[in-house]
Amino acid sequence: MSSPNKAWVTLATNDSYSLGALVLAHSLKTVGTVYKLAILITPGVTAPMKRQIEAVFDEVKVVDVLDSKDQTHLALMCRPELGVTFTKLHCWTFTNYDKCVFLDADTLVLQNCDELFEREELSAAPDPGWPDCFNSGVFVYKPSQDTFSKLLEFARTRGSFDGGDQGLLNMFFKEWSNTDISKHLSFTYNVVWSSTYSYLPALKQFGQNMKIVHFISSSKPWLQSFNTETRLVTSTHGGSGLQELLQLWWDLFCRHVHPGLSTEMGGLAGQ
Ligand code: UDP
Ligand code: MN
Protein backbone atom coordinates (compact mmCIF):
# COMPACT_ATOMS: atom_id res chain seq x y z
CA MET A 1 0.00 0.00 0.00
CA SER A 2 1.43 3.34 -0.97
CA SER A 3 0.31 6.59 0.59
CA PRO A 4 0.24 9.50 -1.86
CA ASN A 5 -0.36 12.27 0.68
CA LYS A 6 2.72 11.90 2.83
CA ALA A 7 6.40 12.05 1.99
CA TRP A 8 9.94 11.87 3.32
CA VAL A 9 11.81 14.98 2.24
CA THR A 10 15.54 15.63 2.01
CA LEU A 11 17.90 18.21 0.53
CA ALA A 12 21.10 18.23 -1.54
CA THR A 13 22.83 21.33 -2.92
CA ASN A 14 25.82 19.53 -4.45
CA ASP A 15 26.98 16.10 -5.60
CA SER A 16 28.51 15.02 -2.28
CA TYR A 17 25.32 15.57 -0.34
CA SER A 18 23.48 13.90 -3.25
CA LEU A 19 25.39 10.71 -2.45
CA GLY A 20 24.02 10.94 1.07
CA ALA A 21 20.51 11.56 -0.24
CA LEU A 22 20.69 8.56 -2.58
CA VAL A 23 21.85 6.19 0.16
CA LEU A 24 19.18 7.62 2.48
CA ALA A 25 16.50 6.95 -0.16
CA HIS A 26 17.65 3.36 -0.54
CA SER A 27 17.68 2.90 3.24
CA LEU A 28 14.02 4.02 3.30
CA LYS A 29 13.13 1.58 0.52
CA THR A 30 15.04 -1.21 2.25
CA VAL A 31 12.96 -0.82 5.43
CA GLY A 32 9.78 -0.89 3.31
CA THR A 33 8.30 2.57 3.84
CA VAL A 34 4.86 3.09 2.30
CA TYR A 35 5.45 6.81 1.86
CA LYS A 36 6.76 8.83 -1.08
CA LEU A 37 10.31 10.14 -1.38
CA ALA A 38 10.80 13.81 -2.26
CA ILE A 39 13.93 15.93 -2.53
CA LEU A 40 14.94 19.58 -2.89
CA ILE A 41 18.01 20.13 -5.03
CA THR A 42 19.76 23.24 -6.35
CA PRO A 43 21.59 23.90 -9.64
CA GLY A 44 24.80 22.91 -7.79
CA VAL A 45 23.84 19.27 -8.44
CA THR A 46 25.29 18.10 -11.78
CA ALA A 47 23.07 16.70 -14.56
CA PRO A 48 24.31 13.07 -14.26
CA MET A 49 23.72 13.15 -10.50
CA LYS A 50 20.28 14.65 -11.03
CA ARG A 51 19.40 11.72 -13.29
CA GLN A 52 20.37 9.27 -10.53
CA ILE A 53 18.20 11.20 -8.10
CA GLU A 54 15.25 11.23 -10.49
CA ALA A 55 15.48 7.46 -10.81
CA VAL A 56 15.00 6.94 -7.06
CA PHE A 57 12.88 9.82 -5.74
CA ASP A 58 9.19 10.20 -6.57
CA GLU A 59 9.46 13.99 -6.70
CA VAL A 60 12.45 16.23 -7.37
CA LYS A 61 12.04 19.97 -6.84
CA VAL A 62 14.78 22.29 -8.10
CA VAL A 63 15.14 25.40 -5.95
CA ASP A 64 17.29 28.31 -6.99
CA VAL A 65 17.18 30.79 -4.13
CA LEU A 66 19.74 33.05 -5.80
CA ASP A 67 17.87 33.43 -9.05
CA SER A 68 14.39 33.67 -7.66
CA LYS A 69 12.72 37.07 -7.89
CA ASP A 70 10.55 36.37 -4.89
CA GLN A 71 10.65 36.92 -1.15
CA THR A 72 13.29 34.19 -0.70
CA HIS A 73 15.80 36.17 -2.69
CA LEU A 74 14.99 39.30 -0.76
CA ALA A 75 15.50 37.47 2.49
CA LEU A 76 18.77 36.01 1.26
CA MET A 77 20.07 39.48 0.37
CA CYS A 78 19.61 40.49 4.00
CA ARG A 79 21.09 37.27 5.37
CA PRO A 80 23.63 35.90 2.91
CA GLU A 81 25.01 33.47 5.54
CA LEU A 82 21.73 31.54 5.48
CA GLY A 83 22.04 30.20 1.91
CA VAL A 84 21.52 26.47 2.54
CA THR A 85 19.06 27.26 5.34
CA PHE A 86 16.78 29.14 2.96
CA THR A 87 16.87 26.17 0.62
CA LYS A 88 15.89 23.83 3.48
CA LEU A 89 12.94 26.07 4.39
CA HIS A 90 11.49 25.30 0.95
CA CYS A 91 10.47 21.90 2.32
CA TRP A 92 7.35 23.73 3.57
CA THR A 93 6.35 24.36 -0.06
CA PHE A 94 5.59 20.67 -0.76
CA THR A 95 1.92 21.47 -0.24
CA ASN A 96 0.84 18.54 -2.40
CA TYR A 97 1.45 16.43 0.76
CA ASP A 98 -0.48 16.88 3.99
CA LYS A 99 2.36 15.68 6.23
CA CYS A 100 6.10 15.26 5.73
CA VAL A 101 9.17 14.15 7.62
CA PHE A 102 12.36 16.02 6.77
CA LEU A 103 15.62 14.06 6.96
CA ASP A 104 19.09 15.53 6.49
CA ALA A 105 21.04 13.92 3.66
CA ASP A 106 23.55 12.68 6.26
CA THR A 107 20.98 10.46 7.99
CA LEU A 108 20.45 6.73 7.49
CA VAL A 109 17.25 4.85 8.32
CA LEU A 110 17.92 1.52 10.05
CA GLN A 111 14.37 0.37 10.86
CA ASN A 112 10.95 1.26 9.49
CA CYS A 113 9.68 4.41 11.20
CA ASP A 114 6.53 5.20 9.22
CA GLU A 115 4.82 5.83 12.57
CA LEU A 116 6.52 9.25 12.59
CA PHE A 117 3.77 10.48 10.27
CA GLU A 118 1.29 10.18 13.14
CA ARG A 119 3.08 13.05 14.92
CA GLU A 120 2.18 16.71 14.54
CA GLU A 121 4.25 19.74 13.51
CA LEU A 122 6.82 20.38 14.83
CA SER A 123 8.06 17.09 16.24
CA ALA A 124 11.78 16.47 16.60
CA ALA A 125 14.35 14.84 18.90
CA PRO A 126 16.56 16.70 21.39
CA ASP A 127 19.99 17.87 20.32
CA PRO A 128 22.69 16.30 22.53
CA GLY A 129 24.66 19.57 22.47
CA TRP A 130 21.81 21.49 24.16
CA PRO A 131 18.84 19.19 24.80
CA ASP A 132 16.39 22.09 25.28
CA CYS A 133 16.85 22.56 21.53
CA PHE A 134 15.75 20.03 18.95
CA ASN A 135 18.14 18.75 16.31
CA SER A 136 16.88 19.88 12.90
CA GLY A 137 18.22 16.85 11.01
CA VAL A 138 14.93 14.95 11.51
CA PHE A 139 11.56 16.67 11.98
CA VAL A 140 7.88 16.09 11.30
CA TYR A 141 6.08 19.05 9.72
CA LYS A 142 3.02 20.13 7.77
CA PRO A 143 3.73 21.78 4.41
CA SER A 144 2.09 25.19 4.16
CA GLN A 145 2.73 28.23 2.02
CA ASP A 146 1.71 30.41 4.92
CA THR A 147 4.22 28.83 7.34
CA PHE A 148 6.88 29.10 4.64
CA SER A 149 6.28 32.86 4.29
CA LYS A 150 6.36 33.31 8.05
CA LEU A 151 9.63 31.40 8.29
CA LEU A 152 11.20 33.56 5.59
CA GLU A 153 10.05 36.72 7.30
CA PHE A 154 11.37 35.43 10.61
CA ALA A 155 14.72 34.57 9.02
CA ARG A 156 14.98 37.98 7.37
CA THR A 157 14.18 39.95 10.49
CA ARG A 158 15.63 37.76 13.23
CA GLY A 159 18.35 35.66 11.58
CA SER A 160 19.57 32.49 13.23
CA PHE A 161 21.51 32.26 16.48
CA ASP A 162 23.78 29.53 15.11
CA GLY A 163 23.91 30.75 11.52
CA GLY A 164 21.96 27.71 10.28
CA ASP A 165 18.51 26.14 10.07
CA GLN A 166 18.66 24.62 13.56
CA GLY A 167 18.95 27.98 15.32
CA LEU A 168 16.24 29.48 13.16
CA LEU A 169 13.75 26.62 13.53
CA ASN A 170 14.31 26.41 17.29
CA MET A 171 13.43 30.07 17.69
CA PHE A 172 10.43 29.85 15.37
CA PHE A 173 9.06 26.71 17.05
CA LYS A 174 10.29 27.74 20.49
CA GLU A 175 7.35 26.19 22.36
CA TRP A 176 8.84 22.79 21.43
CA SER A 177 11.03 22.86 24.55
CA ASN A 178 8.28 23.12 27.15
CA THR A 179 4.81 22.62 25.73
CA ASP A 180 3.86 19.22 24.36
CA ILE A 181 5.85 16.09 25.14
CA SER A 182 4.27 14.24 22.17
CA LYS A 183 6.35 16.53 19.96
CA HIS A 184 9.52 15.27 21.59
CA LEU A 185 10.69 12.35 19.49
CA SER A 186 12.79 9.67 21.09
CA PHE A 187 16.52 10.11 20.55
CA THR A 188 16.40 6.77 18.67
CA TYR A 189 14.83 8.70 15.72
CA ASN A 190 17.86 10.95 15.43
CA VAL A 191 20.94 9.41 16.98
CA VAL A 192 23.33 12.28 16.45
CA TRP A 193 26.71 10.72 15.97
CA SER A 194 29.84 12.76 16.40
CA SER A 195 33.37 11.92 17.40
CA THR A 196 32.70 13.41 20.80
CA TYR A 197 29.42 11.61 21.51
CA SER A 198 29.97 9.18 24.33
CA TYR A 199 27.27 7.89 26.63
CA LEU A 200 28.46 4.35 26.23
CA PRO A 201 26.28 2.64 28.87
CA ALA A 202 23.16 4.14 27.22
CA LEU A 203 24.37 3.07 23.82
CA LYS A 204 24.84 -0.46 25.14
CA GLN A 205 21.40 -0.48 26.75
CA PHE A 206 19.37 1.17 23.97
CA GLY A 207 21.57 0.86 20.86
CA GLN A 208 19.49 -1.92 19.30
CA ASN A 209 16.45 0.42 19.29
CA MET A 210 18.21 2.89 17.04
CA LYS A 211 15.99 3.80 14.07
CA ILE A 212 17.73 6.70 12.40
CA VAL A 213 21.41 7.55 12.69
CA HIS A 214 22.67 11.05 11.89
CA PHE A 215 26.29 11.44 10.84
CA ILE A 216 26.88 15.05 11.86
CA SER A 217 29.94 17.18 11.12
CA SER A 218 33.10 15.22 10.30
CA SER A 219 31.51 11.77 10.58
CA LYS A 220 29.95 12.11 7.07
CA PRO A 221 30.16 8.63 5.50
CA TRP A 222 31.19 9.87 2.08
CA LEU A 223 34.21 11.64 3.59
CA GLN A 224 35.68 8.47 5.14
CA SER A 225 38.23 6.34 3.38
CA PHE A 226 36.86 3.26 1.71
CA ASN A 227 38.92 0.37 0.42
CA THR A 228 37.43 -0.69 -2.93
CA GLU A 229 39.08 -4.14 -2.74
CA THR A 230 38.02 -5.21 0.74
CA ARG A 231 34.87 -3.01 0.55
CA LEU A 232 35.56 -1.89 4.12
CA VAL A 233 35.39 1.63 5.44
CA THR A 234 38.05 2.94 7.80
CA SER A 235 37.01 5.91 9.87
CA THR A 236 39.62 8.15 11.37
CA HIS A 237 37.05 9.36 13.86
CA GLY A 238 36.70 5.99 15.56
CA GLY A 239 34.30 5.81 18.44
CA SER A 240 32.35 2.79 19.56
CA GLY A 241 29.82 1.54 17.04
CA LEU A 242 30.43 4.26 14.48
CA GLN A 243 32.47 2.01 12.23
CA GLU A 244 29.63 -0.51 11.93
CA LEU A 245 27.11 2.18 11.00
CA LEU A 246 29.45 3.71 8.44
CA GLN A 247 29.87 0.22 6.96
CA LEU A 248 26.09 -0.09 6.63
CA TRP A 249 26.02 3.18 4.69
CA TRP A 250 28.81 1.97 2.40
CA ASP A 251 27.14 -1.42 1.87
CA LEU A 252 24.00 0.36 0.64
CA PHE A 253 26.13 2.68 -1.49
CA CYS A 254 27.95 -0.24 -3.16
CA ARG A 255 24.80 -2.25 -3.71
CA HIS A 256 22.37 0.44 -4.90
CA VAL A 257 24.13 3.68 -5.77
CA HIS A 258 27.54 2.91 -7.20
CA PRO A 259 26.30 0.69 -10.09
CA GLY A 260 24.13 3.52 -11.47
CA LEU A 261 26.84 6.13 -11.02
CA SER A 262 29.52 4.06 -12.71
CA THR A 263 27.30 3.40 -15.74
CA GLU A 264 26.47 7.10 -15.91
CA MET A 265 30.02 8.32 -15.53
CA GLY A 266 31.91 5.71 -17.52
CA GLY A 267 33.01 3.53 -14.63
CA LEU A 268 35.02 6.21 -12.85
CA ALA A 269 32.65 7.43 -10.19
CA GLY A 270 33.02 6.56 -6.54
CA GLN A 271 36.47 5.03 -6.92
N1 UDP B 1 23.26 20.53 2.91
C2 UDP B 1 23.51 20.55 1.55
N3 UDP B 1 24.66 21.15 1.10
C4 UDP B 1 25.57 21.69 1.94
C5 UDP B 1 25.33 21.65 3.32
C6 UDP B 1 24.17 21.05 3.78
O7 UDP B 1 22.71 20.06 0.77
O8 UDP B 1 26.61 22.20 1.45
C9 UDP B 1 21.98 19.94 3.41
C10 UDP B 1 22.05 18.42 3.58
O11 UDP B 1 20.76 17.88 3.45
C12 UDP B 1 22.54 18.33 5.01
C13 UDP B 1 21.73 19.44 5.68
O14 UDP B 1 21.71 20.47 4.69
O15 UDP B 1 22.33 17.04 5.57
C16 UDP B 1 22.32 19.97 6.97
O17 UDP B 1 23.73 20.12 6.90
P18 UDP B 1 24.71 19.09 7.62
O19 UDP B 1 24.05 17.76 7.66
O20 UDP B 1 26.05 19.16 6.95
O21 UDP B 1 24.84 19.68 9.08
P22 UDP B 1 25.12 18.85 10.44
O23 UDP B 1 24.02 17.84 10.55
O24 UDP B 1 26.48 18.19 10.28
O25 UDP B 1 25.08 19.89 11.50
MN1 MN C 1 23.09 16.61 9.24
CA–CA separation, 186 and 195 (whole Å) = 21
Could you give phi then psi for residue 170, rounded to 5 degrees?
-70, -30
Residue 205 CA to ligand 2 center (angstroms) comes to 25
List, for residues 182-213, the tens digit of each pLDDT value: 999 999 999 998 755 568 788 888 889 999 99
Give the binding-site residues of ligand 1, using a 6 Å CB cut-off. 10-14, 17, 84, 88, 104-106, 137, 216-217
How close is the Cα of 163 to the center of ligand 1, in Å? 13
C-alpha to C-alpha distance for 143 and 122, rounded to whole angstroms = 11
Instruction: Compute the average pLDDT of residues 25-32.
Output: 98
Q: Report whether pLDDT(151) > 70.
A: yes
Q: What is the pLDDT of residue 219?
A: 84
Q: Which has the higher per-residue pLDDT, 148 or 80?
A: 148
**Does pLDDT of 140 surpass 90?**
yes
Q: 44 and 21 in contact (C-beta within 8 Å)?
A: no
| Sign of the C-alpha dihedral computed for residues 45, 46, 51 and 56 taken in this order | negative
Tell me, rounded to whole angstroms, the distance of Cα 141 from its chain centroid: 13
* Closest listed ligand to the CA of 104: 1
- Ligand nearest, relative to CA of residue 166: 1
Distance in Å, CA 39 to ligand 1 centroid: 13
